[in-house]
């Protein structure tokens, strides 16, 4: 980083925060500026992660809602347990079969009565 790349930023931590940050910077062998820059960037990555997780949760919720509506029928009522069973079975059954078939860590042993984790 050249001097042309550097822009001043002012931070107003409490006295307690300032002491903690100085101690942490010293423990890491960093200048205060390096430490602040590192912590700000770490915080920015955390915000991006939280935002991505929230987006993934929204997508998961929308997909679940769609699956629930898909299993309902206008003519034939279903109780709660039937809806849950059909949503879970329909969605996960195929995916579980794919994982068991495609993942090298899962091995089917007919003599043992099922699938086992293959120690590699």
Question: What is the residue extent of each domain of the chain?
Answer: 13-59, 72-104
What string of DSSP letters covers 24-80?
A: HHHHTT--HHHHHHHHHHHHHHHHHHHHHHHHHHHHHHHHHHHHHHHH--SSS---H
pLDDT of residue 15: 93
pLDDT of residue 101: 87
pLDDT of residue 16: 93
Distance separating alpha carbons of residues 66 and 73, to the nearest angstrom? 13
Q: What is the mean pLDDT of each run of 10 residues along the chain (120 residues)?
A: 75 90 89 85 77 78 85 85 82 81 88 85
pLDDT of residue 2: 66
pLDDT of residue 3: 63
pLDDT of residue 109: 87
Considering the entire predicted model, what is its pTM?
0.41
């Amino acid at each position: 980083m050249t001097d042309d790349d550097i822009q001043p930023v002012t931070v107003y931590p409490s006295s307690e925060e300032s002491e903690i940050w100085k101690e942490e910077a010293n423990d890491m062998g960093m200048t205060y500026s390096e430490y602040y820059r590192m912590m700000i960037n770490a915080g920015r990555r955390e915000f991006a992660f939280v935002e991505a997780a929230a987006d993934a949760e929204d997508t998961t919720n929308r997909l679940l809602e769609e699956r629930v509506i898909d299993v309902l029928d206008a003519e034939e009522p279903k109780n709660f347990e039937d809806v849950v069973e059909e949503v879970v079975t329909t969605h996960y059954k195929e995916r579980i079969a794919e994982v068991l078939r495609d993942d090298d860590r899962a091995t089917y042993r007919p003599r043992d009565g099922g699938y086992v984790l293959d120690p590699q």
